[in-house]
Structure 1
């Protein structure tokens, strides 16, 4: 269903991403592509694209949702355990996984339950990947790290991925994330000291829908749930939600459940703005000393795209003091890296339409 707010699992529920899906499936099936990176702004369907491709291809995979890891080694162990149990529950690859895991020290399997010894977890992960690589008779094993930039605190992981890249011919690595953070913070692009530096990868990019595509998505979704539409409300929804398919889905779901387009739009904007604000608060909580400056920058860039010098002048007027150029550059870089701002043609703007409403 198009208005299902959970990540999509079936190709028929993935709206207007045929080109991206075809590219991703092609890369995952190409023996000469070792790593694939799915990049795009927030809520543009990266997770849905990944999960649909994995389901369509049917390769065995270990899927880790890095948003649940929270930068914690303990939580990373838990998520790997969850991914292995998900594989065991899928009967298609159960025999392969059982045979591979019986070779690995520190893992015990009972039914579809997996117990891991966390003491030397790096070695355990390597052993699992090596064992799977040996057992595969054909095809590939996919190690999928969703929102991989959230794993940057797991310092040894890039070294393991570099080892897989260089050594394990049937193990492919797929990562998703916001462009700058996943490329620089996780893959170490531009840093010769990074374990993954210089290793080629294939990239697939998600995008915002055009105005026509966004209206088409809403029309198709409301037709699917049997709900009549009002063109004026759909146009307003696209104006306010800016072609971000995650927020458009949020609107469609709320309107469907309350039976009223206008109420659904206001509810989606209200709840979505609260969610965007909470994400910003988590970002600001670690930067309390500069909170007022970050908020002033976002306030300025939410009205219209602004150049570096225009933002500098705005901060001077708003805060009553000049911000040093190196400090302002650091603030802008952080906001872009975390997806709160985007930069195009030398100007910065708030990328999330509902953050502008918050």
Structure 2
């Protein structure tokens, strides 16, 4: 169902993303490395899971690995790869090939990531290709003691020498992921290695309305057009929020109760994300509050911070704004800054 709150895992469950699927398939055919990018809750993970449901590959949740301890170790990653044994068995059965992955049978401390990638490349030779996907890959910069450089070197090795292995990296903090990969940075192991990039954007107004209509029709529920219009005017085109509202409306059959519940849940999720952001610098949240209140030009943000006793030197303010753009919280147009998620205002009050 379109309004199922669980992440989608089949292509037919995903609304109006045919273009993104086509671009993803072409990129994986053409490039050893593909980036799937977009802001939070826009549907990247669902697209990726649906693709992997049809093609041989595994998915590593980097945010979950990071959340356990605040960093990612080599053994953490190897254990996660070893936990996919059931998926490897299903792939082998589907393609009627013999599974001979030695790394599944040894202790993490005795395994080598480079050797694991070589084994997956050999599996890809039998299945046509094999995909290893890293969801929210910007968290890989917390891998090891060198800011993930060892992994970048491994990716470069796979790019150059493992023709049957494909790597997909998703990221909602697009700028941070680009910085981490350093494809344009001469000192990065991935320097000069061109990959594909697919941007998953929020729905436009018409697509958002069509999505809600389709979800309600699927459930056999009639909803007046003015309520659909009002929902889109509040939630904009973020698929995650539209799904949540649709689900709550099917529970309550009452617009206001459904919207109140949606906004309450959204606020809770966003408060958690803002709390994580504030641990990096309280000025990040100060800047977002300024923008949410309409102080959306550089000089206005500077003055707002000073008023709130967070006076910030000009170079530092430029850096903070640049980082917020890289993390996907804000965008800039004609010198004005805007929140990428309209519901972030709720958590910034």
Tell me, yes or no, whether TM beats 0.5. yes
After superposition, the Cα gap between the structure-2 partners of 1:245 and 1:49, relative to the gap in structure 1 and judged at 3 Å, is: same
Q: Which moved more, 1:214-223 or 1:82-91?
A: 82-91
Q: Which residue of 2 aligns with 1:86?
A: 87
Shift of 1:254: 1.6
Task: Specify the SS of the correspondent of 1:204.
Answer: strand
Whether the 8 Å contact between 1:8 and 1:51 is mirrored in structure 2 is yes
Task: Specify the SS of the correspondent of 2:191.
Answer: coil
Q: Which residue of 2 aligns with 1:126?
A: 114
Task: Specify the SS of the correspondent of 2:265.
Answer: helix
After superposition, the Cα gap between the structure-2 partners of 1:153 and 1:93, relative to the gap in structure 1 and judged at 3 Å, is: farther
Q: Which residue of 1 aligns with 2:313?
A: 324
Please state if 1:237 is matched with 2:231. Answer: yes
After superposition, the Cα gap between the structure-2 partners of 1:83 and 1:151, relative to the gap in structure 1 and judged at 3 Å, is: farther
- Structure 1, unpaired ranges of 5+: 109-115
Shift of 1:150: 1.3
- Structure 2, unpaired ranges of 5+: none
CA–CA distance in 1 between the matches of 2:301 and 2:291? 8
CA–CA distance in 2 between the matches of 1:91 and 1:170? 15
RMSD: 2.1
Shift of 1:273: 1.0
Q: Which residue of 1 aligns with 2:23?
A: 23
Shift of 1:120: 4.9
Matches within 5 A, 1:1-358: 1-28=1-28, 30=29, 32-56=30-54, 58=55, 60-70=56-66, 71-73=71-73, 74-90=75-91, 92-93=93-94, 96=97, 98-99=99-100, 101=101, 104=102, 106-108=103-105, 116-121=106-111, 123=112, 125-135=113-123, 136-137=125-126, 139-154=128-143, 155=148, 156-178=150-172, 179-185=174-180, 187-285=181-279, 287=280, 290-291=281-282, 293-304=283-294, 306-319=296-309, 322-358=311-347
Deviations 1:20-56 (A, max 9, x none): 111111222x2x4211111111111111111222223
CA–CA distance in 2 between the matches of 1:141 and 1:90? 10
Task: Specify the SS of the correspondent of 2:83.
Answer: helix
After superposition, the Cα gap between the structure-2 partners of 1:41 and 1:344, relative to the gap in structure 1 and judged at 3 Å, is: farther
CA–CA distance in 2 between the matches of 1:97 and 1:72? 32
TM-score, structure 2 normalization: 0.89
